[in-house]
Chain A
């Protein structure tokens, strides 16, 4: 909840600065949409970067997979000896 307030405050401050710059006509009027579009483009780039980094550093544990397969075989063997059908051996 606090984080979103911080983000909203930052956005409000940015738009106030932008409006001030436009009002004092330091920036030509046909550039009004440049800041919002720039913010959206940066947000999209940030999201894409986070997805890429997440894919790159995605943790895998192959030794755990082999342990799990061993466990499955053990359990199947155990159940079969007790007389329970668990499909293909």
Chain B
């Protein structure tokens, strides 16, 4: 149990750090690199740096709202039965 928690924590840290490094490199450093440099092959065009986070945020918000609505509906039903 303890080891599983530690592994999950380590994985979360690694994921967040790698996302942050990749995104920082993509957004902050890449505009200063020449357009025909080979490193541009490893990154999507700059528009996607805005589109992907917005899309992910909207998806996350909708999922959270759906979950909250589901929980509220369920608790209401339980209250009626009692």
Contact = CB atoms under 8 A, between A and B. Distances in A.
Nearest to A32: B50
Interface in A1-43: 30-31, 33-34, 37-38, 40-42
Contact of A60 (B2, B27, B49): B2
Interface stretch (A47-55, A66-74, A81-89): A47-55
Contacts of B54: 33, 37
Interface residues of B, number: 26
Given A31-B46, A56-B6, A45 B19 contact: yes
Interface of B: 2, 5-6, 8-17, 19-20, 23-24, 27-28, 46-47, 49-50, 53-54, 57
